Structure 1
Amino acid sequence: MIKALIFDFDGTILDTESQEYQALKEIFEEHGCELPLDVWGKCIGTANVFDPYEYLEEQYKQPIKHDELREKRMKRSHSLILEQEALPGVVAYLEAAKELGLKIGLASSSTRSWVTGHLERIGLLHYFETIKTADDVDEVKPNPALYLEAAQALGVKSEEAVAFEDSVNGAKAAKAAGMFCVAIPNPVTRHMNFDGTDLVLESLAQKELSDLLHSLNN
């Protein structure tokens, strides 16, 4: 019996990842270079070990000013993200979960200030009984620690929770934690292979929560 929903944040609740990619893509294009999705996509949903400025410098074959480009990217992506609202179906799922008496948590590889700041801005912070972020664990996704911590804080067993994810790294974390996992790929993760998940949706608006729970519980 499913007792809890645990959401990823970036790309699942708010489309921050497309905006981050767009900002970087513009910088690469200004230098006559390209940042392929399959290269950038590998770091989505986990600690970012990929340095796009080193990658750009390798392509550009000339020194670039990393700090200046980093600041430019941050300003551009931030302005794009501030234009975004919750992704389709998210609010409906949160409301439906409340009506069904389900516990609601969040597990994100981002920092707490990033997650709670945006949740407050879009008016969704109050829905979450627990929020676990990079600030709470030694290793982020694909390590299952974030999901295990969230389940424990909600007082449910892993097998009693459904995780909602947009990235392969996140899906691996949820499944390693022993949870059901529903993938909702965003524009920068749609090329990825989500075969290990229990269900793949184009958006949460595609299927009502009650129908989803019925299919997973049977």
Structure 2
Amino acid sequence: MGPSAVKAVFWDLDDTVLDTLSGRADALTATYEEIIGERPDARELWRMHLGVTIEALAKELTGNDWPRFVERYRAIYYASKEPLEPYPGVVETLEALSSDGLDMAIVTSKISWGARGELERAGLLDYFAAVVGWDDCARPKPAPDPLLVAMERTGQKEPAQIAYVGDVPTDVQAARAAGCRAIGASWGSLDPERLRAAEPDLLAEHPSAVLAYVRRSRRPIA
């Protein structure tokens, strides 16, 4: 295994590991109607604001009333008891990477306690050595800060030996800024063409492509 081998895989959460769009859209619709008084196209709002925190979205929608919007959104969203489903192939890929001895972490624009709770509900938390949310660092993605925090928490020293998997251009930008490899998760992306245009090192149509990429990098050098 040479110096170019991937030794850790960091993952975004929403639209990459877990299919949370329906719940997020429902919570955004209910909050928007309650506070703004209109019914939005919630899925389009998420598509237009790919990768942003709910705080950033609320500030754009409501200005100074954003704390109330965020509080209400989270109350509605996290009260949901709907099952949380990983995308097809995610569990198998996580299991294989774990068996191969790779460290893994979640790096998300969600608040960390919310992300950790969702992973626990989905039965996936034990796969990850760290869960890093926007509240764990000074700047969210596309800044490199969340990835650097994940590196520190997982004991990784070489960013070039880390692959970061995410569904939006800001994930690719954060990986580049941190010196990590960028893998685009087109299987869950709301805008695959924008993801492609960000030029990740790999545009994966299925989680199994992540496993194949990592294993190729770890083959012994002849």
Structure 2, unpaired ranges of 5+? 63-67
- Name the SS for the 1:9 alignment partner: coil
| Aligned 8 A contact 2:183 2:210 in 1 | no
CA contact (8 A) 2:51 2:109 kept: yes
Secondary structure of 1:87's aligned partner:
coil
Displacement of 1:84 after TM fit? 2.7
| Aligned equivalents of 2:193, 2:43: Cα separation in 1 | 8
Is 2:171–2:182's contact at 8 Å kept on the other side of the alignment?
A: no
Aligned length: 205
Contact 1:18 1:188 in 2 (8 A): no
- Quote the offset at 1:52 in angstroms: 9.0
Residue 19 of structure 1 contacts residue 77 of structure 1 at CA under 8 Å; is this kept in 2? no
In the alignment, structure 1 residue 108 sits paired with structure 2 residue 113: no
Q: Which residue of 1 aligns with 2:122?
A: 122
Q: Deviations over 1:125-162 (max 9, x none)?
A: 11111222122101111111011111232222110001
Seq. identity, %: 27
Judge which range, 187-196 or 86-95, deviates more: 187-196
Whether 1:132 and 2:132 are equivalent positions in the alignment is: yes
**Alpha carbons 1:159, 1:179 under 8 Å: kept:** yes
Counterpart-to-counterpart distance in 2, 1:85 and 1:38: 21
Among 27, 36, 46, the alignment partner of 1:40 is 46
Contact 1:163/1:180, CA 8 A, preserved across alignment: yes
Residue of structure 1 equivalent to 2:8: 4
Q: Distance in 2 between matches of 1:78 and 1:171?
A: 31
Pick closer, same or farther for the CA change 1:109–1:34 going to 2, 3 Å: closer
C-alpha distance in 2 between matches for 1:177 and 1:89: 27
- Give the direction of change, closer, same or farther, for the CA distance of 1:18–1:190 in structure 2 (3 Å limit): farther
Q: Taking structure 1 as reference, are residues 25 and 194 closer, same or farther at Cα in structure 2, changes over 3 Å only?
A: farther
Matches within 5 A, 1:4-153: 4-24=8-28, 35=41, 39-48=45-54, 49-51=56-58, 54=61, 71=72, 75=76, 79=80, 82-153=82-153
How big is the shift at 1:41?
2.3
Tell me if the contact between 2:7 and 2:161 (Cα under 8 Å) persists in the aligned partners.
yes
Task: State the secondary structure of the residue aligned to 1:192.
Answer: helix
Q: Is the 8 A contact 2:25 2:42 kept in 1?
A: no
Could you tell me the TM-score, scaled by structure 1's length?
Answer: 0.76
Q: How does 1:146-165 map to 2 (within 5 A)?
A: 146-156=146-156, 157-165=158-166
**Contact map agreement 1:41 1:188 (CA 8 A) in 2:** yes
Shift of 1:44: 2.9
TM-score by length of 2: 0.75
